[in-house]
Structure formats: structure tokens, C-alpha cells
Amino acid sequence: MSSRPVVAVLDYGSGNVHSAVKALDAAGADARLTSDRALVLDADGLVVPGVGAFRAVMEALRASRGDELIERRLAGGRPVLGICVGMQVLFERGVERGVDTEGLGEWPGVVTELDAAVLPHMGWNTVQPGEGSRLFAGLEDERFYFVHSYGAQKWLLDVQSPFPQPTLTWSTHGQPFLAAVENGPLSATQFHPEKSGDAGIRLLTNWIDGLGTANL
């Protein structure tokens, strides 16, 4: 038994996942890199990392049936956090270099290349958290670390009462893009919390604190 919330980091072949495990541990979780279906479904939280191309991430998720696990968790109201391309694939589609790929479809919209003079958008940038954000509580003036050339530049989900409105956090590189979304059990960041120093650890702590007290 663990006294800390168990967070599964989905191991589906995406690179650069060990830094996410370390950051989650530092933020107060019992983080476990795993492809075990039972653990992924039963964990207090699930983190979906993602680096590289939209299509490659989607192919790897489908090959490992990770897409089914994400959908099952969300259907049961179980928390999921997507990071970088792990956020992008939550949208309906991604278009990279003319390649149009179907995403997970949790949110409507298309991920496209940023209209900026310099790509990739790499380095530290400020964000504008939405009102009442839990992820960014106490972090409204912090900078976070981005590495990407593509992003969601519009929010198209129309949520009707009595369901709460999603909390949207924006950033700008050439043009505004979504830096984070908080939508019920599903949250995501375009930046890398695990590469964002103390601010990133505190953001992960905010997310972990919202997972509840149930442990494996």
C-alpha cells in the first residue's frame, strides 16, 4: 500500500518519459511507468506523455491499445493528464506537413502548425491561466518550458449547463495557442511540466492534490 496517490505514466513507446516519472515523484505521487492495463485503469491518475509527431504518437497509442485505456478512464470519470503531444492527440485531428491524422477526439478541433517567424517554439514562456484554474493556483506569473511547432489555436467545445465550463490557459508564440486545458477529469498541458523547474513541480502537485485519497 502506498500513502501517496498512485499515478500511472502510460508506457506506449513514447520517448523521454523517465523525467516525467521523476517529476511526479517529486510532486508527491507514487509514479509508475507502466503498460499494465489493470494498473493503468486502477491508478488514481494517468499521465499520457508524448514527444515527436502527432501521427507517430497516435500509431503507438493504437498499437498498444492505449487509446482504449484513456477512453475507459474518462468514461468512468478517472483523472487523465496529457503532456505535449499527449495533449495534442486529445483533439479530433492533427495536420503536420500535409499529413492529416485522426486523433482521440476527446475535444473537437484541429492541431496545426503555429504561424510564427521561428519554429519550433522552444524555451520558457508565460501563460494566461483561465479564471479559477486549479492547475495554475499560485502559479499565475510563472514561466513554463515549451518545445513544439504545432498546437491547438482554437477551442470549439460547446459545453452546456449544468456541466461546468472548461478552464482554458493560453500562451502566445506568433499567435495565441492553448497552453493547457482543464475539462472535468481530463487535463492537459502543451508545455512540459517535468522540464519547467519548481513551477512545473508545483503544477503537478496541484494536479495530484485533486486526485483524491484513494490508493491502490
**Catalytic member of 121, 148, 173, 192:** 192
| Cα–Cα dist 140/169, whole Å | 10
pLDDT, position 216: 34
Name the 3-class secondary structure at 113. strand
Based on the number of CB atoms within 10 Å of its own CB, is 197 exposed (0-12), middle (13-18) or buried (19 or more)? middle
- Is 84 marked active-site? yes
Which portions of the chain are predicted below pLDDT 50? 1, 213-216
**Catalytic member of 18, 84, 102, 140:** 84
pLDDT, position 167: 98
pLDDT, position 3: 87
- Is 194 marked active-site? yes
pLDDT, position 162: 86
Residue among 81, 102, 38 at smallest CA distance from 184 = 81
- Is 173 marked active-site? no
| Cα–Cα dist 143/146, whole Å | 10
Q: Given CA atoms 19, 24, 28, 31 in this order, what sign does their dihedral have?
A: negative
The whole-model pTM stands at: 0.95
**Catalytic member of 106, 142, 182, 194:** 194
pLDDT, position 124: 98
Span 6-209 CATH architecture? 3-Layer(aba) Sandwich (3.40)
* Residue found under cell 496517490: 5
pLDDT tens profile 146-200: 999 999 999 999 988 888 899 999 999 999 999 999 999 999 999 999 999 999 9
pLDDT, position 214: 37
